[in-house]
Structure 1
Amino acid sequence: MKQLVEGFAQQLRDAMDIGEKATVTFSGFKYNNVVIAGMGGSGIGGNLIQSYVADKLSVPVVVNKGYTVPAFVGRHTLFIASSFSGNTEETIAAVRAAMRSDASVCFVTSGGELLRIAKENSMPFITIPGESQQPRVCLGYTVVLMLYLLHHAELLDNTFKTELRQSIDLLEELSGSIRVQASALANAFHNKLPMLYVSDAMEPVALRFQQQINENAKQLSHVNVFPEMNYNEVEGWQQPENLFGQLAVLLIKTRYDHPRVHLRMDLTKKILEGKVQNVLEMEARGATFLEQTFHLIHMFDWVSVYLAELNNVDPNTIDNINYLRGELSKE
């Protein structure tokens, strides 16, 4: 797993190369909305795309994580299916529903049933390398290639390419310091329940972190966002007091947070410092949204790997997930 995490910057570079060489064509008519379908390590890329394009696309982007699709899906929907294996049952079901609704369906996958559907129906697709057999370590491929699909569909301009190149440069420049900071965070989270707080704009980054802690370190975690948590969860920090010693809080800041969100974080920190020993704070590096996003993702991936070592678990195994898949396949 360490080797796969270490190669993240190169993965972004390889993904750009795949995207530049991809030959995909779309119908050319105007799309009224975009739906991105995917689960787990493949699906979180959709959430990241949704945040990134929020101020760039003139049409809404919805992330679909389930067997069904929204009623608005139709002929003027660009429907992007993201599945590393191509055999994710929820995504396959959603694709078939989108096809029945006459949506324009395209794919990012390494193979499986989705690639068969794409080829059989002459639908646009971009394939990703499948050697790792680990969807969660292929986030660079899925995010970058979905951006290229949006670009080929004439919804996104070329700006993302420059930001991707800058992100790669940043990760390579900061590789050493990222690992040092990640190691310190892992030690702070060891034998604790990490409580991750972030702005609404960066919620997908925190969700990705939670997922990596879950899958790699075999450890529970919790995520909430500002400003919403100030209207409910902050009041819950009163009971049960006997659990507070088992918690570690991380406030994640970026330059893309609303100024009032930073004020809320600072005020909330004062409340939490009276209850929890570890109230940590970190700020993303980078000049653009993508740079800050990938900086955080790469650091948090390292945290999950170091935490796996501290927990004495194998980050490559997913026994509970495999059990569920096996039992579901019997039905």
Structure 2
Amino acid sequence: MFLAIIHMSKIYNELYEKISPGSGNVDKSRMLVNVATFPDSLLHALGAYFRVPKLLEKIPRDIKGIVISGMGGSFIGGLFLQDVLYDTSNLPIFLVRDSILPQFVDSSYLLIAVSYSGNTEETLRVFGEALQRKIPIISVTSGGLLQKYSEKNSVPVVSLPQGFQPRAAFPYMAAALLSITETITGDVGLLKQLSECAENMKATRDEALMKTIEDAKDFFSNIEKGLTPLIYSYRPYISVGYRFKTQLNENAKIHAFYLDLPEANHNEIMGWRQEASDKFFATIIRGSQEQYYMTTRIEFLIKHLEANNIPTINFLPEPRYSGKKICELLDLVFRLDLISVATALKLKTDPTPVDTITKLKKHLEKHIDVEKELFPQERP
């Protein structure tokens, strides 16, 4: 164990220097280390959630669909799950990024309320509405009001470890949601795939870390020129593309924008003209699940971008994961998370703090007493 710690410390130091000399001094809360230990977190989460089936014994199995409520970093796990099951499961998965629970959701559906802090106002409102409608609920949280009122109302809680930024807890959220889904649907094999992927990622981590930074040189170069990334992906890589956009926002503190294909080809493509060449660059996330009709569209898009001198970057999962959807998704998230942190360090920005979001939360807390509003009868 001691030798392993020494080895990883050496790798981290080498990685910091490869990104930018002295960048370890910028990363005060060691977000880079959190990203580098992504495979370990996945494996730890798998061990932590072996009790989920017993925890959910009273949750009905004959449901019409799963509704996942979450915001920000707590939303990505639901989008990941939707990507995983989109073309294989007969059970629909609806995502709610709002304060309102859709009217069609009744007691025949299952709500999974995801809030890392447990104090996300929008998610608490959806949770409170679900309680009133007698909808089965599972909460995924590290504490806060969501855990408090889940326990008061006998709602099962799948606990997330404390001490993370919400976005950094993605491995635990992903594992928790796969565990819940496998338990509810009986679709065994999801966790086995996750375990195999995590083991492989851990075994090849050192090489992947260094190679990712090398492969991202063109991306870094465009950022340092002041260009803004417009990111594209398609099903089943929508969660990866959207995650990369939000990671660049929160880690690097820069604007980045995302739209999925083929929708982008029906509108956004019109904005790619010569005048955009000194403002934006395109980043396309691709994988082995790409159908020929999607390839045809992307080939046209790339030619159009090249004709207008728009820089274009492609990111693909490692070839060894080809055909394994969960592995491809996790590999891409792992490496693009690393690129988002490396982008921050190249810009001499500490990736961890999110000061503006913190200010917003304090502003909301000052003007909105969500506990008093939603649970007036249950307060001591």
For the aligned pair, the TM-score class normalised by the smaller chain equals: over 0.9
* 1:13 matched to 2:48: no
Structure 1 distance, partners of 2:42, 2:227, is 32
**Does the CA-based 8 Å contact 1:57-1:156 persist in structure 2?**
no
What's the offset of the Cα at 1:278?
A: 2.1
CA contact (8 A) 2:99 2:126 kept: yes
Q: Take 2:111 and 2:173, find their aligned partners in 1: how far apart are those partners?
A: 15
| Offset at residue 243 of structure 1 (A) | 3.6
1:41 equivalent in alignment to 2:41: no
Give the structure 1 partner of residue 242 of structure 2.
207
Q: What's the TM-score, normalizing by structure 2?
A: 0.82
Q: Contact between 1:245 and 1:276, CA under 8 Å: does it hold in 2?
A: no
Matched residue of 2:237: which SS? helix
Residue 323 (1) aligns with residue 356 (2): no
Partners of 1:243 and 1:262 in 2: how far apart?
24
TM-score, normalisation: structure 1: 0.94
Match of 1:139 among 170, 181, 186: 170
- 5+ long unaligned stretches in structure 2: 1-30, 368-380
Deviations 1:271-311 (A, max 9, x none): 00122352122222313111000111011111111100111
Partner of 2:18: none
Structure 2 counterpart of 1:244: 277
Letter of the aligned partner of 1:163 in structure 2? Answer: Q
Residue by residue over 1:164-187, the C-alpha shift from the partner in whole angstroms, topping out at 9 and shown as x without a partner, is: 022213322442234432442334
Aligned to 2:19: none
Deviation at 1:267, TM superposition (A): 1.5
What's the secondary structure of 1:219's corresponding residue?
Answer: coil
Instruction: Write the distance in 2 (CA, Å) between the matches of 1:123 and 1:3.
Output: 34
Aligned-partner Cα distance in 2 for 1:205–1:178: 18
Aligned to 1:300: 336
Cα RMSD for the two superposed structures: 1.6
Give CA deviations for 1:49-90 in whole Å, capped at 9, x if unaligned: 111111232221101111111111111111001111111111
The residue type equivalent to 2:211 in the other structure is: V
Instruction: Report SS of the residue matched to 2:117.
Output: coil
Which consecutive aligned stretches of 4+ in structure 1 deviate over 4 angstroms post-superposition?
A: none
Say which SS state the counterpart of residue 94 (structure 2) adopts: strand
- Alignment pair present for 1:281 and 2:314: yes
Label 1:28 to 1:263 Cα distance change in 2 as closer, same or farther (>3 A).
same
Of 169, 189, 205 in structure 1, the residue corresponding to residue 223 of structure 2 is 189
Q: Within 2, Cα distance between the matches of 1:14 and 1:110?
A: 16
For 1:202 and 1:249, the matched residues in 2 are separated by 16
Matches of 1:242 and 1:330 in 2, distance apart? 44
What is the aligned partner in structure 1 of residue 33 from structure 2? 3
Residue 112 (structure 1) aligned with residue 144 (structure 2): yes
Q: Aligned AA for 1:162? A: K
Residue 111 of structure 2 is aligned to residue 79 of structure 1? yes
Q: Structure 1 residue 271 and structure 2 residue 304: aligned?
A: yes
Pairing 1:149–2:180 present? yes
Identical aligned residues as a percent: 26
Give the secondary-structure state (helix, strand or coil) at the position aligned to 1:4. Answer: helix
Count of aligned positions: 327
CA contact (8 A) 2:305 2:311 kept: no
Structure 2: distance between partners of 1:13 and 1:29: 27
- Segments of structure 1 that go 5 or more residues without pairing to the other structure are none
Letter in structure 1 aligned against 2:144:
G
Matched-pair contact (CA < 8 Å) for 1:197–1:252: yes
Q: Contact 2:66–2:110 (CA<8 Å) still a contact in 1?
A: yes
Letter of the 2:282 counterpart: V
What is the CA distance between 1:120 and its match in structure 2? 1.1
| Structure with greater Cα Rg | 2
CA distance in 1, matches of 2:144, 2:284: 39
Shift of the alpha carbon at 1:29? Answer: 4.6
Deviations, residues 153-203 of structure 1 (Å, cap 9, x unaligned):
2x1422111210222133224422344324423344332201211113311
Deviation at 1:21, TM superposition (A): 3.0
Partner residue of 1:123?
A: 155
